[in-house]
């Protein structure tokens, strides 16, 4: 026996029902984030001479990605994107950058005390900053929009927080599998980092804090310390050698494959998740 539709209640169209399906929204959200970045960088590469492509293309692509995600939320989800709320953006970003850099410094200091992180000199120029800073702004932006604002948020809404954390744990680590010199420990560390970033999103309900944490860690080990970052070649200001076993230093993949990174981020994950749960359930 069917239940009659209450009089005056509009029946959603087939198109509206399809667009509200969580899996389709995830796909559309990922496209909304990635397409502006891909098109912007491709067009700039094709149309702008190389000497004029310093610094600005990647931050521009990040801004367009934000705007595209905002349009996706307004047009497809029919709401205002509270996760992009501006009033607390600067505070959250600043706190995130400090937190991400602090986690990195903890790992570096412990390694240094153990003789496995040795500063050997400095780079002669500052050109690397013009490459590292814009790139890490873009990377932190699009990865957090995809994995926190789209994937974690939508799965959390439809299937619950535990499922969303598990999905993020798996997919964020899988996304890094193509990186050079990746190891099983690096995959595990990446998955644990994802839990911390999800907890940071849960804590505020906004993307700014996880973006700041992501950027703070990445820029420390890409712009300040010249060590490999997620398998990418080292290019920072302070030249560093990493003597010691690979399980301790991370080897050619960088400290993200170190057992100390697992320890530091694991503690951070427990602390932030514990603090975030009451806020997330409120």
Domain ranges, ordered by start, for the chain: 87-281
Alpha-carbon span 20 to 34, nearest angstrom? 20
Task: 116-120: list long-range contacts, CB under 8 Å, 24+ apart.
Answer: 116/242, 116/243, 116/244, 116/248, 116/249, 117/240, 117/242, 117/249, 117/255, 118/240, 118/241, 118/242, 118/243, 119/225, 119/238, 119/239, 119/240, 120/239, 120/240, 120/241
Place of tokens 């030249």: 239
- Predicted TM-score (pTM) of the model is 0.92
Judge whether 254 and 229 are in contact, CB under 8 Å. Answer: yes
The one-digit pLDDT tens for each residue of the chain (282 residues) are 344 445 555 655 656 666 678 999 999 999 999 999 999 999 999 999 988 888 899 999 999 999 999 999 999 999 999 999 999 999 999 999 999 999 999 999 999 999 999 999 887 666 777 778 999 999 999 999 999 999 999 999 999 999 999 999 999 999 999 999 999 999 999 999 999 999 999 999 999 999 999 999 999 999 999 999 998 888 888 999 999 999 999 999 999 999 999 999 999 999 999 999 876 765
């Amino acid at each position: 026996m069917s239940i009659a539709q209450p009089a005056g209640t509009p029946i959603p169209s087939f198109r509206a029902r399809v667009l509200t399906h969580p899996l389709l929204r995830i796909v559309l959200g990922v496209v909304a984030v990635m397409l502006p970045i891909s098109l912007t960088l491709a067009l700039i590469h094709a149309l702008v001479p190389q000497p004029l492509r310093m610094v600005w293309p990647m931050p521009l692509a990040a801004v367009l990605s934000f705007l595209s995600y905002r349009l996706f939320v307004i047009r497809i989800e029919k709401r205002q994107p509270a996760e992009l709320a501006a009033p607390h953006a600067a505070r959250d970003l600043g706190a995130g950058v400090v937190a991400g850099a602090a986690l990195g410094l903890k790992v570096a200091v412990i390694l240094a005390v153990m003789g496995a992180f040795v500063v050997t000199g400095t780079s002669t120029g500052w050109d690397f900053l013009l490459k590292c800073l814009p790139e890490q702004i873009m990377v932190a932006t699009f990865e957090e929009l995809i994995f926190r604002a789209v994937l974690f948020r939508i799965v959390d809404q439809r299937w619950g927080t535990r499922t969303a954390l598990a999905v993020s744990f798996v997919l964020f680590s899988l996304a890094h599998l193509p990186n050079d010199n990746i190891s099983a420990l690096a995959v595990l560390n990446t998955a644990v980092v994802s839990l911390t970033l999800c907890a940071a999103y849960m804590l505020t309900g906004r993307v700014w804090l996880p973006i700041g944490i992501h950027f703070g860690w990445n820029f420390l080990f890409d712009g300040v310390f010249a060590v490999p970052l997620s398998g990418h070649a080292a290019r920072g200001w302070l030249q560093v050698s990493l003597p010691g076993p690979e399980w301790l230093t991370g080897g050619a993949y960088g400290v993200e494959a170190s057992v100390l990174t697992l320890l530091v981020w694991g503690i951070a994950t427990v602390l932030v998740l514990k603090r975030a749960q009451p806020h997330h359930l409120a």
